[in-house]
Copies of this chain bind each other. A is one copy, B any other.
Amino acid sequence: MNLSVLISEIHKKQSFLCVGLDVDLDKVPLTILKQPKPLVAFSKAIIDATIPYAVAYKPNIAFFETYGSEGLDALEEIMSYLNEKYPEVFTIADAKRGDIGNTSTRYAKAYFETLGFDSITVAPYMGKDSVEPFLAFEDKHTILLALTSNQGADDFQRLHVNEKPIYQVVLETSKKWDGSERLMYVVGATQANSLKEIRRIIPDSFLLVPGVGAQGGSLEDVAKYGLNKDIGLLVNSSRGIIYASEGADFAQASAQAAKTLQVSMAKILTSYKA
């Protein structure tokens, strides 16, 4: 997908919400569990309910891989559904992949071609030749881990190299890679205090921001320093939306939770001048 489509959808829906599909069969209602393909049934119901309020969907690959080939089969069906019914929606494979060149090319083909995602999250530890194979795909996007939302972010990402935290070195170094115009970055919502510095380094890139809701990040704090001329933010919520109710009304409840976030986002967008 060309990013102009995403940006236009953000303005149309007055939303920069991404819905995370971390589908856990221990948490879905009985009516879903009784169906032959519960992962698919649940995901489709959530997508149909939240589509007026969301511009992106982010299946968390671990939650599908845990069911082996059956899980991947479900993911294929969900992606076909999204790409056919809602082609204007931006899709993110939350996969955190990254390996030596010829292997990264395989992962890129798996997610961009076989499964039809618009983007994938990638870990930077193995450096340039592990990320560039993803960047080689036209109209596909690579979302590099920069500063994540979890406690462990402090273990390595905030250590200093020449008085600069490693996550900033990752941002600066990655800007020089071939295809870097197709890079986006993961910055946790719990890290809003670092967004000003991050925006100084990468003013134009989209940021995928998980950690609003269950993990405790604030939407307002993220918007304050994260927004740019293209809006430039995708704020993700997973559990807060898809498990808003564990009863038969789960879909309506997810719509309501998504709408609440969208209304806050619309307010932010109305008062925002780039």
Contact = CB atoms under 8 A, between A and B. Distances in A.
B65 A110 contact: yes
A127 B126 CA distance: 15
A158 to B, nearest CB: 9
Interface string A85-121: 0000000001011111111101101100011000000
A274 interface: no
Contacts of A60: 99, 103, 106
Nearest to A186: B126
A156 B245 CA distance: 43
Interface string A40-61: 0000000000000000000010
A71 B65 CA distance: 12
A153 interface: yes
A247 to B, nearest CB: 22
A72 interface: yes
B66 A157 contact: no
A216 to B, nearest CB: 13
A151 B125 contact: no
Contacts of A2: none
A169 B65 CA distance: 31
Contacts of A96: 97-99, 123, 126
Interface string A132-151: 00000000000001001111
A129 B156 contact: no
A63 B106 contact: yes
A84 interface: no
B127 A157 contact: yes
Interface of A: 22, 60, 62-63, 65-73, 75-76, 94, 96-104, 106-107, 109-110, 114-115, 123-131, 145, 148-157, 159-161, 166, 169-170, 173
The 9 closest A-B pairs by CB, nearest first: A127-B152, A127-B155, A62-B106, A69-B73, A69-B72, A65-B110, A129-B152, A68-B114, A66-B110
13 contacts: A60-B106, A62-B107, A65-B72, A65-B107, A66-B109, A94-B99, A101-B150, A125-B145, A126-B145, A127-B150, A155-B173, A159-B166, A161-B166
Given A127-B155, A128-B152, 12 more contacts: A22-B103, A62-B103, A62-B104, A62-B106, A65-B110, A66-B107, A69-B76, A123-B123, A123-B125, A124-B125, A126-B153, A161-B161
